[in-house]
């Protein structure tokens, strides 16, 4: 949703009640900012990205270029944003469970410095990502999630 339009919508009633997670209306969506446009584009990037081997120059350039563009769009707000919840969302502590479990496991494995006995997630994922289909699919998920974050 256009930030300006969002601001005017929020101020019209003097508060943001009911605006916790507004959906963009058809008139707010830019022509290029539709799933029918962005998803095929992400799929194309993922199909190309899956071809490049790790540690290669092309793989680095693609991730840095795409990630840099997404990062810039997210910081500048040019892709539009949805209104954020006011205050801590109720029940937010539930999300600490997987986050802390993952983080503590990763840190513990990393601190052991033993690739064989205590592998980190990236080490476990390496054999999986050596397959083109898995890597391209993971690339696509990364891009879709990145796009979701950019517009938050």
x/- mask, other proteins, residues 2-41, rule CB under 8 A, reads: ------------------xx--------------------
In the structure encoding, which two tokens stand for residue 28, read together? 């707010």
Do residues 81 and 147 touch, judged by C-beta distance below 8 A? no
Instruction: Look at the block and give the residue holding tokens 């769009």.
Output: 73
Minimum separation from the CB atom of position 34 to other proteins (A): 18
Beta carbon nearer to other proteins, 31 or 121: 121
Instruction: Look at the block and give the residue holding tokens 């064989």.
Output: 116
150 binds other proteins (CB under 8 A): yes
Q: How far apart are CA 49 and CA 51, in angstroms?
A: 5
Tell me how far CA of residue 147 lies from CA of 39, 52, 53, 74, 144, in angstroms. Answer: 10, 22, 24, 8, 5
| Residues near other proteins, by CB under 8 A | 20-21, 49, 52, 54-56, 59-60, 62-64, 66-68, 70-71, 74-75, 82-85, 88-92, 94-95, 97-98, 101-102, 105, 108-109, 114, 116-119, 121-122, 124-125, 129, 135, 138-139, 142, 145-146, 148-150, 152
């Amino acid at each position: 949703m256009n930030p300006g339009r969002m601001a005017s919508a929020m101020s019209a009633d003097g508060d943001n009640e009911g605006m916790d997670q507004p959906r963009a209306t058809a008139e707010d969506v830019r022509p290029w900012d539709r799933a029918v446009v962005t998803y095929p584009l992400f799929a194309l990037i993922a199909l190309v990205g899956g071809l490049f081997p790790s540690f290669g120059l092309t793989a680095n350039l693609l991730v840095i270029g795409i990630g840099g563009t997404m990062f810039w769009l997210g910081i500048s707000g040019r892709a539009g944003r949805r209104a954020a919840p006011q205050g801590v969302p109720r029940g937010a502590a539930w999300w600490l469970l997987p986050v802390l479990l993952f983080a503590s496991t990763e840190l513990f494995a990393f601190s052991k410095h033993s690739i064989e006995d205590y592998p980190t997630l990236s080490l476990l994922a390496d054999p999986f990502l050596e397959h083109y289909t898995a890597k391209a699919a993971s690339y696509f998920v990364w891009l879709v999630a990145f796009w979701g974050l950019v517009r938050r």
